[in-house]
Structure 1
């Protein structure tokens, strides 16, 4: 086992991979130890700051779907060691891939070693929660607040409707409830002297058009009193904020992505009907424009949300805490100039789609 792993995981080139796979394929008795080693590699990933969704996302991007099924099995097996899992882990485990993948012994051993080579090469990243097996404070209740249930239902309707005006009104109402929920949570925390503090979560930012998606997520995070830091190399953004606001960011970002892609599909169909062939440049320009315009709308909506005067210092202190936690997690960040917007029709259609998905607070502001 040690010889197979050493040659496959740490040597340059694929010669060691083939040799290691041959050794493992010839010894069926090694399967149990091979699985144990894989679960150990997964556990080391947790210690380096990774979470299940992060690992699965990277495996899906860099390897193949059968590797995703292999790593899902390892994650599920490793997680059975713990009586309690940190917040957000249960939802990530519930989304793991389906049945275990099997093939002939050599192909199976090769795929396992390819996966393990990726796992042992994972670097240390900023942790966004406790590692399984360490003490942590559980959320106050396992049940979703009623307000978040209403927000989720409104956004689901906005995604499902084929009428832009209806989607616009539903999304606006959802943002209104999010803003109210954030203020209410701050009031409760202040009144009960709760010792809550900003936390963080990761949200996938997948190719293609990941720059536009990251910009959209940043706009949603900022409007909901959070900060977002994009890691393009690993395909995610880390969002820092209070738990209730993080939930709002996840919900709204996902919904706006769905609405944006649906609007882009309709815009492309309209372009083709007019005899104009649109390509990747159209889609890139569309989504960049959509993200930019939604950001403008969200900023305006955030400024229009009124809070009781006695809560203004509380909200300000929470903003400072979020900024401080972000700086603590990411002391060195960089900015970059956005490029790739070259299609005027895509840009104009994207802004129009963002107007239809606007999220201003008052229904009276929704007319175009």
Structure 2
């Protein structure tokens, strides 16, 4: 059986084109006894991906971008089988495994098509580039410098999730904006509490990192939005356009807040854009790609300013009463030290980043609707230049 697998892989994986793929698929389809070994070979390719810094969600997302949803589900099936053998998995891995696509039934719709899907997936897995590791690989103990959750952290995150879920569900833009603002205030206060606790207990916790998918379309504007959310929550975000994700660097509690808020703001932005497009169509204008791109850029830019202002306000209020309570005589030196730690970690992970100025938008209506969706409380005021910068 090993010779059948080797011949199929040699035929399909190391040559380009459909003819090579068909040859390999024919070999596998004609050898039912080789099925188990064919899947074990795929699990080996998945295991090599972990060694190159990939995580389950990254892998599924990349396969979806390179191939399609069907092969992404097949990748999820192999991932579930490969990771089942580990006795220890990092916390983020467990969540990602729970969100894998439903498993694929073997040899459907027929043996040849299924074998071709396997081999085409293996082509992608075999050529995965190495990426920056973000946390321990499966089967190893978690980094002891990353602290366990604080006693009240689950309750705080539950409240934040509830606020964001209400913001996503409401049909009233002003209510969504108020709920999102409240969630950001909770995040900012939680960051402050974590920082003061770490200073008082002389915690050895260090910044970590996580990858967050930035899905097309309009991914450049969405990456700007993620960068804004990360900055407002004392994190750094670095966008990898080719691989479809940004890496957020920060302390664990802040990273979880960034993921929650970014995901919610994408949902809210999509709802607001759909509503704005309906109004445009009612006025006789067809929806366009430029409108949507401008909407997302305006939405990201305005939200970035709002989130940062909210975080700065909460920090200033907290610093007023932190003088003797905070370690070292105040809150701001504590937060500054954590900011330096995050910046140092990001620079070690990404020593060759560039700051790219994104192209200005060309649809004023889209930009206007995007800024209004981000900030219903301010309908006018100072105009802003419709472009942005992002670290990549």
Q: TM-score, structure 2 length as denominator? A: 0.88
Compute the displacement of 1:199 (Å): 0.1
Compute the displacement of 1:103 (Å): 2.0
Count of residue pairs brought into register by the alignment? 358
Q: Do the aligned residues in 2 keep the contact of 1:259 with 1:357 (CA within 8 Å)?
A: no
- Of 116, 119, 122 in structure 1, the residue corresponding to residue 122 of structure 2 is 116
1:57 and 2:61 correspond:
yes
Aligned equivalent of 2:88: 84
- Specify whether residues 207 and 357 from structure 1 end up closer, same or farther in structure 2 by C-alpha distance, changes over 3 A only: farther
Cα distance in 1, alignment partners of residues 163 and 334 from structure 2: 29
Larger mean Cα displacement after TM superposition, 170-179 or 331-340: 331-340
Aligned counterparts, 1:237-248, within 5 A: 237-248=246-257
Q: Which string of whole-angstrom CA distances, capped at 9 and with x for unpartnered residues, describes residues 305-341 of structure 1?
A: 2232422211111000000000000000112221251
- Specify whether residues 355 and 24 from structure 1 end up closer, same or farther in structure 2 by C-alpha distance, changes over 3 A only: same
Q: Do the aligned residues in 1 keep the contact of 2:53 with 2:133 (CA within 8 Å)?
A: yes
- Of 204, 220, 223 in structure 1, the residue corresponding to residue 213 of structure 2 is 204
- Which gives a bigger RCO, structure 1 or 2 (Cα 8 Å, sep 6+)? 1
1:188 and 2:197 correspond:
yes
Compute the displacement of 1:354 (Å): 1.1
Q: Do the aligned residues in 2 keep the contact of 1:126 with 1:329 (CA within 8 Å)?
A: yes
Q: Do the aligned residues in 1 keep the contact of 2:236 with 2:250 (CA within 8 Å)?
A: yes
- Of 350, 360, 365 in structure 2, the residue corresponding to residue 330 of structure 1 is 350
Q: Do the aligned residues in 2 keep the contact of 1:284 with 1:340 (CA within 8 Å)?
A: no
Q: Do the aligned residues in 2 keep the contact of 1:24 with 1:109 (CA within 8 Å)?
A: yes
Q: Which string of whole-angstrom CA distances, capped at 9 and with x for unpartnered residues, describes residues 188-234 of structure 1?
A: 11122221000000100000000010000000000000000000001
Q: Do the aligned residues in 1 keep the contact of 2:88 with 2:141 (CA within 8 Å)?
A: no
Compute the displacement of 1:165 (Å): 1.5
* Structure 1 unmatched ranges of 5 or more: 359-368
Aligned equivalent of 1:140: 148
Q: Give the match's secondary structure for 2:356.
A: coil
Cα distance in 2, alignment partners of residues 335 and 230 from structure 1: 10
Q: Which string of whole-angstrom CA distances, capped at 9 and with x for unpartnered residues, describes residues 147-173 of structure 1?
A: 111011001001111111111111111
> Please, what is the CA RMSD of the aligned residues?
1.6
- Of 229, 232, 236 in structure 2, the residue corresponding to residue 227 of structure 1 is 236
Cα distance in 2, alignment partners of residues 64 and 210 from structure 1: 18
Aligned equivalent of 2:40: 36
Cα distance in 1, alignment partners of residues 54 and 13 from structure 2: 20
- Of 279, 283, 287 in structure 2, the residue corresponding to residue 278 of structure 1 is 287
Q: Give the match's secondary structure for 2:142.
A: coil
Aligned equivalent of 2:306: 297
- Of 145, 163, 166 in structure 2, the residue corresponding to residue 157 of structure 1 is 166
* Structure 2 unmatched ranges of 5 or more: 324-329, 379-392
Q: Give the match's secondary structure for 2:374.
A: helix
